[in-house]
C-alpha cells in the first residue's frame, strides 16, 4: 500500500540530531523511517537535576507543501557550566555544582530549505562559543543575551559569506536551553515555545511571535522606511509574514536576525515544553495544544509505569500533535518538539 503523503511517520525532511559527551560524539541527519524512530540510550544524568530528568521527542511532516523546509536540532549534552552561570539553583546543592544544559532548536525555512538546514547545523555550536567569550562580570542573564544575539548574527553573516543560499531564502530560529532549574528561550521569527504547568495546565508562552503588525515591530519597520502591507495577512512590503529571520538579505533593514531572549525558572509543577513551527500554531491555540499534550503525557506515563515499558511519551505526543494539525488542515510544514519535564523514559527523535 502506498504511503500517505500527509502521514507524519513518513520522513519528508531531515531531522538534525546532535549527541555529544565525554564518552561519545556524533552528528547525523535522520532521514529514514528506521532512523526517525531510533531511541537514544536514555536519560543523561546531571548533578543539577533539581526537578528530575527531562525526556524529549519530535515529529515533522512536509504536510501539504511541495518542499520540506523545517529542521530540528537537539543537543542533549550542549554544555556543562557552574550553576551560578545559569541563574543558580532553586534547591540547596553543594557549592560549585555543575549544571548540564540541553539545547532544543526549531528552524522554519521559507523560499528554500538551505538557511534552515544551516541554522540546525551551526547555531548550537556558535552560541556555545559566544557564551565562552563572555565574562562573569556581565551577569549571567546578560551573558546569555549577548551569546544568543551575537550567535544568531554570526550565523546570519556566515549564510551570506559562504553563499549558503540566495538572498531571498530565510528561516526562523527558535532555540531553547533547559537546565535543572532554568529555561532560556531565544526566538527570531514566528516559531513558538510554550511551557505548560500544573494540573490545570497553566499556559506560559515563552516567546512572542515576530509578526509585522506587532506594535513595536511595526514601529521599527516604519522607522527604517519600510511598510507593512496586508496581503493574505500583514506582510513586510507585502512579502514576508514575519518581521525577523535569518537570511532574507534582500529585506534588510526591515527584517533583522536579532533574537529576543527570555528567562523562566523551572517549577516542580512543570509538565512539558512545546516548541513548534507555525504549521502547528496556525491551526491550534496554545491552550488546545497544552490540553492535548498534557493529557496524553499523563496517560502514557501511567501506562508505562503500569506495564514497566520504556516507550517515549514525548515522541508519542509529538506524533499525535502533528497528525492533529494535519486533520485541522494545516497548509504548512509542521514540526513539533515535546520536552517532557516529568520524564521517566528514554528520548526519541
The number of residues making up the chain comes to 349
| Average pLDDT estimate for 123-150 | 93
The 3-state DSSP composition of the chain as helix, strand, coil percent (nearest 5) reads 30, 30, 40
In whole angstroms, give the CA distance from residue 297 to residue 312. 9
Which CATH homologous superfamily contains domain 15-210+245-340? Answer: PPM-type phosphatase domain (3.60.40.10)
Strand ranges of the sheet holding 270-276, from the earlier edge strand across to the other edge:
55-61, 334-340, 270-276, 192-197, 202-205
Beta bridge partners of 275: 193, 337
Neighbouring CB atoms inside 10 A of 91's CB total 11
Least confident piece of the model among 27-36, 123-132, 230-239: 27-36
- pLDDT tens-place string over residues 256-300: 999 999 999 999 899 999 999 999 999 999 999 999 999 999 998
- Give residue limits of the domains in the chain: 15-210+245-340, 211-243
What's the predicted TM-score (pTM) here?
Answer: 0.84
Residue 5 has phi, psi (to 5 degrees) of -65, -15
Amino acid at each position: 500500500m502506498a504511503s500517505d503523503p500527509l502521514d507524519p511517520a513518513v520522513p519528508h525532511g531531515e531531522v538534525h540530531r546532535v549527541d555529544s559527551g565525554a564518552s561519545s560524539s556524533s552528528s547525523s541527519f535522520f532521514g529514514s523511517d528506521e532512523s526517525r524512530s531510533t531511541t537514544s540510550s536514555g536519560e543523561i544524568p546531571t548533578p543539577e537535576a533539581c526537578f528530575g530528568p527531562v525526556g524529549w521527542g519530535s515529529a515533522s511532516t512536509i504536510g501539504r507543501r511541495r518542499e520540506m523546509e523545517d529542521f530540528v536540532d537537539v543537543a542533549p549534552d550542549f554544555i556543562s557550566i557552574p550553576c551560578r552561570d545559569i541563574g543558580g539553583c532553586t534547591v540547596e546543592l553543594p557549592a560549585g555544582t555543575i549544571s548540564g544544559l540541553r539545547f532544543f532548536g526549531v528552524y522554519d525555512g521559507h523560499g528554500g530549505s538551505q538557511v534552515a538546514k544551516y541554522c540546525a547545523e551551526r547555531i548550537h555550536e556558535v552560541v556555545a562559543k559566544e557564551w565562552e567569550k563572555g565574562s562573569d562580570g556581565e551577569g549571567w542573564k546578560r551573558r546569555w543575551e549577548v551569546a544568543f544575539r551575537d550567535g544568531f548574527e554570526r550565523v546570519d553573516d556566515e549564510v551570506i559569506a559562504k553563499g549558503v543560499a540566495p538572498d531571498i531564502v530565510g528561516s526562523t530560529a527558535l532555540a531553547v536551553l533547559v537546565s535543572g532549574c532554568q529555561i532560556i528561550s531565544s526566538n527570531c521569527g514566528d516559531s513558538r515555545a510554550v511551557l505548560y504547568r500544573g494540573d490545570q495546565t497553566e499556559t506560559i508562552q515563552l516567546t512572542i511571535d515576530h509578526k509585522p503588525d506587532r506594535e513595536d515591530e511595526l514601529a521599527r519597520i516604519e522607522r527604517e522606511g519600510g511598510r507593512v502591507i496586508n496581503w493574505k495577512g500583514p506582510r513586510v512590503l507585502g512579502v514576508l509574514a514575519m518581521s525577523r529571520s535569518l537570511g532574507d538579505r534582500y529585506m534588510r533593514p526591515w527584517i533583522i536576525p536579532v533574537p529576543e531572549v527570555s528567562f523562566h525558572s523551572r517549577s516542580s509543577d512543570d509538565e512539558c515544553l512545546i516548541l513548534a513551527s507555525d504549521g502547528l500554531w496556525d491551526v491550534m491555540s496554545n491552550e488546545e495544544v497544552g490540553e492535548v499534550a498534557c493529557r496524553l503525557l499523563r496517560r502514557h506515563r501511567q501506562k508505562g509505569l503500569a506495564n514497566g515499558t520504556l516507550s517515549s511519551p514525548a515522541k508519542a505526543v509529538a506524533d499525535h500533535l502533528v497528525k492533529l494539525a494535519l486533520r485541522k488542515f494545516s497548509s504548512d510544514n509542521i514540526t513539533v518538539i515535546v520536552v517532557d519535564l516529568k520524564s521517566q523514559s528514554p528520548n526519541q527523535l
